[in-house]
Amino acid sequence: MSYYDYHVSLVIAANDYPFYALIMAAMRKADSGNAELLRVAFPDTFHELKLRYNLPGGVLPEEEPKDG
């Protein structure tokens, strides 16, 4: 970690992003070793990110508006 990383973490924390949004962002940025560690630590989040990545707009079928 560097001073720059620490400083950016302050900026990120000040924006009050949701926890799982940060985890998914970390998964997107991670190298293969760190991605595997995150996958093991957060398997449900990893699975959901993978599902959403492959869907148009990241929208799960149950989130789509129903005609009615």
| Nearest-angstrom CA–CA distance, 17 and 1 | 21
Whether 3 is covered by a domain: the verdict is no
Domain that residue 42 falls in: 17-60
Whether 12 is covered by a domain: the verdict is no
pLDDT for 60 equals 92
pLDDT for 24 equals 97
Considering its fold, how many domains does the chain have in total?
1
pLDDT for 32 equals 97
pLDDT for 64 equals 74
Whether 7 is covered by a domain: the verdict is no
pLDDT digits (tens, 9 = 90+) for 17-56: 999 999 999 999 999 999 999 999 999 999 999 999 999 9
Mean pLDDT across 2-29: 97
| Nearest-angstrom CA–CA distance, 24 and 46 | 7
Angle value at C-alpha 58, between 52 and 61, nearest 5 degrees: 80
The type of residue at 39 is: R
Task: Judge whether 31 and 10 are in contact, CB under 8 Å.
Answer: no
Mean pLDDT across 2-24: 97
Whether 51 is covered by a domain: the verdict is yes
